[in-house]
Structure 1
Amino acid sequence: MADFADFFLNQAKADPHVQFVYDPTVRRVVFVNAAYERVLYGTRSQVNEDLPALLQRLHPDDLVYLAHYWEKWVQGLMTNEVEVRLQHPGQPNQWFCFSPYYQQDAEGRVLLGGTLRDISVMKRYQGNADLFNSRKNATLEILSHDLSSSFIMVQQIAEFLHEEVVAPAESRIPELLTVLETTSRDSVKMIRELINLEFLTSANTDLKVNRVDVGAILRVPLDQLQTGQRLLGNRFTYSLPAEPIYANLDVNKFTQVLINLVSNAFKFTPDEGKVAVHIEPGPGCVRIHVVDDGVGIPLAMQPHLFERFTKARRPGLRGEATTGLGLALCKTIVEWHHGTISVNSVEDEGSTFTVEIPRSEAVSSRVPVELVEVEGQ
């Protein structure tokens, strides 16, 4: 057994990630490996003296978050890995993933251990990927709306000419107008199918959840939507919370939900109308309202809106087709995030879709005494 103990001790010492053991009885780190000096730039022999400065470098939005889980760990309640940020003046934040370990011996002595992995590169890569996907999805939705509207207009003009124009005998005009109608109709269908396929593909991938500032993450697609809708001559506004609100999101999937709700709002809002998104804190949750002053939803349709292939589906004001899947997928994705989606609508007055998702902050904002005393040393 001693050989095994030596083996694992030597393995911990050689690990490129920070390994440590903390004794909450004496409130001191009793072991830390050499990676501490390479990764956190401290001195192993002075790790307990270094702790106050390390905690002061924690991102302020992460301190209470970490403290919430610390309370669980000291009680032996194991949790998932936790990601936190260390601040560096004038430099990007350093991201760490903390994997905790709890042990209690026969005499009741408790030791807390864990591994700290520097995940800064992965977080930057993921952030860039989320940013790209948000902009791509918003741009695709705007382009599809613009192109669809143009093809629908061509189709309607062709239908009008077909009915009103008397073509000379043996003229090919009726045939050409029919081709124009069919091509325009098929083009609109193809565009919408491509967008729906993108949404379906995204919804069918595995959920990849991260703790994020909801306002900061959704600002990117909202900016993109606002710019695009302004170019199309539509009125679109949004408001974000004054303070950061954190939730556990799959950014790509949740952005798709937001874009889908905004797209639906414009689909049933006249050209002179307006659409707005409001993100605000709620009791233990984040609320996202998508509000329009469009034609509203008939009362009889409202109970069926979120059903798959719902009988409540109807074409948009400009002839946009619908599959009856969009709102059902939105509901599914929101529920994956342990949230809810609801609608409040009055015919001829408009609709408000509200999404609520749990906040990731602890219920209590009290920082455990261990962390307070370490900070005050």
Structure 2
Amino acid sequence: MSDFAALLMEQAEASPHVQFIYDAATARVVFVNPAYEHVLGGTPGQVNEELPALLARLHPDDRPYLAKCWRLWTRGQLSDEVEVRLLVANEPDQWFCLTPFCQQKGTAPALLAGMLRDITVSKHYQQNTDTFLARKNAMLEILSHDLSGGFALVQQIAEYLREEVQAPADSQLHKMLGVLETTSRGSLKMIRDLVDIEFLSSANTDLKRERVEVGAVLRETLEQLQQGQRVLGFRLDYSLPREPVYAHLDVNKFQQVLNNLVSNAFKFTPDGGRVEVEVAACPGGVQVHVRDTGIGIPAALQPVLFERFTKARRPGLRGEPTTGLGLVLCKTITEWHRGTLSFVSTEGQGSTFTVEIPQAV
């Protein structure tokens, strides 16, 4: 055995993670550390006999992905960590992160070394965090819309009364109405600024992509948005792929893109209108369509829609202001995912925004 293998074996003995060396020439595991017994329930001396049963526990959706990674690994071209799931009878899937190493001299078969870390607990924490963030984003949008609508109404009534009501010269009515109008306007701005700041600050954090089932991670966001919009009296329908579709996503950021596109759709859709979200596989990719039956985008504004602080920014039908940054950030985050954001719109007939990102194996 080479010095490379001997060194890895020496360092691996005390590791809490499974470490192994596989000899491609003999198609056998030539070393596995004691952690194999504690983490995977196997017997180190019988690892080659147990390997077929262990591989049979791979999640069916992960097998093509792992096969692709294996081909790269045997060529010395795999450097990224790989996350896979093992099926466990009557229990949730067990998640592992594989850190690959490879030694190859000339055309000789390679020695493949790897370290397997059990990341099941951290995966569950991440899933809970994503669920919480989806609910938080949906709740912020609901509160923004609901509270903003209330304060906007109070502001409009105060303006109307101050202009229409004749009060005695010594009355404080006009002064009080002015205070009410100013306070409502300030509260309205504060609520909307809070939502904008939250979106901007979250969007500017580092991208952390992982291979996920797109329909599964977007379902929570769509359910929250659907329930929230129903409370506000609006209709949101959505459809997800029938078969699992995978992509490399920063789940929180991608949820923000979806949340922002849906929010914009409702902003320009009159009462009684409808917004529909469709998540579907396409050749080599995944598409998310956000369709509305709103007022559409004037043709003159469409060429500059994605410009920063674009002149295409318009207040919503219910007075919602815009910074002109929402669609720019959506486009930026989509491009971080190596995807595209496009749209088609006809004035008076609604709009469809489409996010397309590469599909993972």
**Following superposition of structure 1 onto structure 2, how do residues 1-377 of structure 1 map, counting pairs within 5 Å?**
8-105=8-105, 108-361=108-361
Quote the Cα distance in structure 2 between the aligned partners of 1:241 and 1:107. Answer: 44
TM superposition shift of 1:133: 0.8
Distance 1:111 1:163 in 2: 84
Contact 2:260 2:326 in 1 (8 A): yes
Alignment partners' CA distance in 1, 2:107 and 2:305: 60
CA deviation string 1:185-223 (max 9, x = no partner): 111111110001110110111111111111110111111
What SS does the corresponding residue of 2:11 show, helix, strand or coil? helix
Q: SS where residue 9 of structure 2 aligns?
A: helix
1:9 Cα offset (Å): 2.6
TM-score (norm 2): 0.96
Instruction: For 1:299 and 1:178, locate their aligned partners in 2 and report how far apart those are by CA, in whole Å.
Output: 40
AA of the residue aligned to 1:338? R
Give the CA deviation at 1:272: 1.1
**Separation in 1 of the partners of 2:58 and 2:266?**
42
In 2: Cα distance, 1:3 partner to 1:70 partner: 24
| Mean CA deviation greater in 147-156 or 192-201 | 147-156
Structure 2 CA distance, aligned partners of 1:106 and 1:303?
Answer: 54
Write out per-residue CA displacement over residues 298-326 of structure 1, whole angstroms, 9 at most, x where no aligned residue: 11111111111111111111111111111
CA contact (8 A) 1:69 1:79 kept: no
Q: Counterpart amino acid of 1:161?
A: L
Correspondence for 1:371? none
Q: Larger RCO: Structure 1 or Structure 2 (Cα < 8 Å, ≥ 6 residues apart)?
A: 1
Distance 2:172 2:180 in 1: 12
| Cα shift at 1:107 | 7.0
2:92 is paired with a residue of what secondary structure?
Answer: strand
The answer to whether the Cα contact below 8 Å between 1:309 and 1:323 also exists between their aligned partners in 2 is: yes
The one-letter amino acid paired with 2:191 is I
Q: Which amino acid aligns with 2:41?
A: Y
* Cα 1:170–1:126 shift into 2, 3 Å: same
Runs of 4+ that moved beyond 6 A = 2-5
Listed as ranges, the gaps of 5+ residues in structure 2 are none
1:340 Cα deviation after fit: 0.6
The 2-side partners of 1:241 and 1:140 are apart by 27
Conserved? CA contact 2:9–2:33, under 8 Å: no
| Offset at residue 105 of structure 1 (A) | 3.2
Q: In 2, distance between residues paired with 1:244 and 1:107?
A: 38
Distance 1:232 1:246 in 2: 33
When structure 1 is superposed on structure 2, of 234-243 and 170-179 the one drifting more is: 170-179
CA 1:6 to 1:296, structure 2 compared with 1: closer, same or farther past 3 Å? closer
User: 2:284 is matched by which residue type in structure 1?
Assistant: G
Q: CA deviation at 1:231?
A: 1.0
Following superposition, the deviation at residue 264 of structure 1 comes to 0.7
Deviates further, 43-52 or 162-171: 162-171
Report if aligned partners of 2:79, 2:101 keep a CA contact under 8 Å in 1.
no
CA distance in 1, matches of 2:139, 2:330: 19
Q: What is the rounded CA distance, in whole Å, between the counterparts of 1:4 and 1:78 in structure 2?
A: 18
Question: In 2, are the aligned partners of 1:274 and 1:292 still within 8 Å (CA)?
Answer: yes
Cα separation, 2, equivalents of 1:276 and 1:158: 36
Which is further off, 83-92 or 26-35?
26-35
Instruction: Return the offset for 1:167.
Output: 2.0
Q: Give deviations 1:318-342, integer Å, cap 9, x for gaps.
A: 1111111111111111111111101
Deviation at 1:226, TM superposition (A): 0.7
SS in 1 for 2:46: helix
Specify every segment of 5 or more residues in structure 1 that has no aligned partner in the other structure, as ranges.
362-377
Kindly provide the amino acid, as one letter, of the partner of residue 13 in structure 1: E
Measure, in 1, the Cα distance between the counterparts of 2:205 and 2:248: 17
CA RMSD between the two structures: 1.6
> 1:331-365 CA deviation, whole Å, 9 max, x = no partner?
1111111111011111111011100011111xxxx
What letter corresponds to residue 349 of structure 2 in structure 1?
E
Please give the per-residue CA displacement for 1:245-281, whole angstroms capped at 9, x wherever unaligned: 1111111111111111111111111111111111000
Q: For residues 354 and 10 of structure 1, what CA distance do their matches in structure 2 show?
A: 53
Aligned to 1:14, the other structure's residue is in SS state coil
Return closer, same or farther for 1:211/1:107 CA change in 2, 3 Å cut-off.
closer
TM superposition score normalised by structure 1: 0.92
1:4 Cα deviation from its structure 2 partner: 9.2
